[in-house]
Structure 1
Amino acid sequence: MSSALPIIDISPYLRSEPVDIAARKATSEALHAACLNFGFFYLSITEFVDTAVPEELTTLARTFFALPQEEKDKLSLSNQDNARGYARLKENVTNGKADNHEGLDFYRPVESPDKSKPLWGENQFPDLPGFRDKYEAWVEKMKILGLIVMEAMAIGLGMTPDEWTELRNQVDDSFWVMRAIGYPPLPENSDGFSCGAHKDYGCLTFLYADPTPSALQVFLQQPEGSTAADTTGLPVEQGAKAGAWINADPIPGCVVCNIGEMWEIWSNGLYKSTLHRVVHRSSNYRVPFFFEPNFDAHVKPLAAAKRIQGADGAPERRSVVYGDFLLAKVGNNFAGGKGRYDD
């Protein structure tokens, strides 16, 4: 298996007329292979968005993170539900170590906000010209892209139209998350990470990053008997696995996409949510969008995945209600040294 992450062109699913069935099939097959082998891939979106738009988002993020600390603290997570708002440098912890980044987090707005309830507060936007409008416009674009990629993946998995409709009903009101993240350079000889090794816990992540190389690293497991091994920085429970870290450097016109733990359940283990980490030696700004299931979605193994596995396939994964799963993950963020990605 190649160690280079595949580049997948989603454009056949962007064109409604004429529909190129063969091209869509090829895209779906490429997505299926990428999810089986990597859990990570590049998604070419040049026909979907003007590449100047995400550049504007990172410029706005850079402007916000350059503000005086007291100005940024006015949007502190503690003002709301400890999930929406600004997190200081090293405020979050992964695998027992402080992450060397600061962030500004937004979630899908909720009815009847109540900041005393985890995840149920209100988003906090900086008072910077154009910030809210441009970030909310990007959210709308990424929600559309999420549904497009989900449909393409459903076809790649062999789902019937009725099965796709049922799955679509679980993600059509996505409880999305949007982040702006600022990474100062790691101190020399640091044994920490800008963001420690973790898996994303939702559905699909679309990451736009500035051109800094060798920052995002993906852990690829190697076949049994392989001598390749670089397990530095892995969570303790993962450290015995043979594998190696590869760079997922930004490619112009693409977002980096990876699948989260919900796709592990939907695919009954066929697809794996892949460990990744961030190691920055220079300043960097990233804008990840997390396309997630609906808050009340009942996520369970899909019949199409079990058809692929056959009667003697893998044991059925435990189903979850996404909102309950999410609350268990982030309901106590930043409290008592527990991090966003810790179990």
Structure 2
Amino acid sequence: MSKAARLPIIDISPWLSDDPSNAEARTAVSAALHSACVNYGFFYLDISSYADPAEPEELTTLARKFFDLPQEEKEKIALRNEDNARGYARLKENVTNGKADNHEGIDFYKPVDNPDKTKPLWGTNQWPSVPGFKEKYEAWVEKMKALGMITMHAMAVGLGMTEKEWQDLRSQVDDSFWVMRTIGYPPLPNNHDGFSCGAHKDYGCLTFLYTDPTKKALQVFMAGAKPEGLQLDEDLPVEQDKDGFWINADPVPGCVVCNIGEMWDIWTNGLYRATLHRVVHRGTNYRIPFFFEPNFTAHVRPLDAALRIQKSGKDHGGGTGTDKKPVVYGDFLLAKVGNNFDKY
């Protein structure tokens, strides 16, 4: 399979209205999403017609104000105060593949009924005391939740789902158990045994990452041998790996970096690939990923539309041909989050 050095850029604007004159453009967007999910699991989503760039910039300003606070002030909203999932994680508290990640962050999850901090994931979000932080971040949550539903619908069309099939899928994500992080990256020390964030796949549906201007930080793994004749930009080197190669997903103005999570891998029986990625951050900056996830109680199983494609033999994507086992998303998430943080 031929791969380019740069991930595809997909403009979501045709899906922002129901104007019948946009029908052809919407179909083209859906086809592009399908291709990107089969071949990469990653793409740039152009949201310049959906969100004012000043909004996420303001979020990074607020993040900077928080991360610049004295450590004892930041610890007032530490993970240990709640359910060990919601709140502030100090530098190197987040762990990937058994190694400490060189970043600090704050994690927020969908608010739950009858919160109980003794139950994993079932606590209350802890918000910084920085003026305007909570209001601005909650507004971004609502905007990203809406974008998640729009993108899911566009993907359903690209996958060839019927209207009824889409409505069935929609009912599994219409109360998304979303997650949002704000992450502060100091420069990665040369002697650090690990990464700014180690190689991993995301758990759920869609990740919308508002990234900082730092280049060569987010790296995406492409399985297989480097395609012959692959031409690289000077700012986009490829690092060879024994099982594939890494490319940089550098920031593109007006875009969020979007990738699919492991639930899409199950929904499509491996047709769509949840792709490994990592962060090697040499700057001092802030990133805001929003994770649009299934409902906590969603029963995730291979979709008929994906099975039809695989049966037709037209496109096998990145899957191995092994049937994916259904999961209940909340159970899957609980098992993953329990290994994310270093314990005191």
Normalising by structure 1, report the TM-score: 0.92
Q: Take 1:311 and 1:323, find their aligned partners in 2: how far apart are those partners?
A: 32
Equivalent residue number for residue 302 of structure 2: 301
Equivalent residue number for residue 268 of structure 1: 269
After superposition, the Cα gap between the structure-2 partners of 1:42 and 1:118, relative to the gap in structure 1 and judged at 3 Å, is: same
- What amino acid maps onto 1:50 in structure 2? D
1:72 to partner: Cα distance:
0.2
Deviations 1:4-41 (A, max 9, x none): 10000000000223441110000000000000111000
8 Å contact 1:82–1:333 — kept in the other structure?
no
8 Å contact 1:119–1:331 — kept in the other structure?
no
Q: Take 2:152 and 2:312, find their aligned partners in 1: how far apart are those partners?
A: 26
1:162 and 2:164 are equivalent in the alignment: yes
Q: Take 1:282 and 1:335, find their aligned partners in 2: how far apart are those partners?
A: 24
Equivalent residue number for residue 281 of structure 1: 282
* Aligned residues with identical type, % of pairs: 70
Deviations 1:61-87 (A, max 9, x none): 111000000000000000000000000
8 Å contact 1:12–1:19 — kept in the other structure?
no
Q: Take 2:270 and 2:224, find their aligned partners in 1: how far apart are those partners?
A: 17
Q: Take 1:274 and 1:333, find their aligned partners in 2: how far apart are those partners?
A: 18
Q: Take 2:37 and 2:227, find their aligned partners in 1: how far apart are those partners?
A: 23
Equivalent residue number for residue 104 of structure 2: 102
1:82 and 2:84 are equivalent in the alignment: yes
Identify unmatched segments of 5+ residues in structure 2: 230-237
8 Å contact 1:139–1:289 — kept in the other structure?
yes
Equivalent residue number for residue 143 of structure 1: 145
After superposition, the Cα gap between the structure-2 partners of 1:223 and 1:305, relative to the gap in structure 1 and judged at 3 Å, is: farther
3-state SS of 1:323 partner:
helix
1:329 and 2:336 are equivalent in the alignment: yes
Q: What value does the CA root-mean-square deviation take over the aligned residues? A: 1.8
Equivalent residue number for residue 248 of structure 1: 249
Question: For 1:1-343, what aligned pairs fall within 5 Å after superposition?
Answer: 1-223=3-225, 230-231=240-241, 240-241=242-243, 243-310=244-311, 314-335=321-342
Q: Take 2:297 and 2:192, find their aligned partners in 1: how far apart are those partners?
A: 41
1:117 to partner: Cα distance:
0.0
Deviations 1:80-137 (A, max 9, x none): 0000000000011112211000010000000000000000000000111110000000
1:181 to partner: Cα distance:
0.2
Identify unmatched segments of 5+ residues in structure 1: 232-239, 338-343
Deviations 1:155-178 (A, max 9, x none): 000000000000000000000000
Q: How many residues align?
A: 328
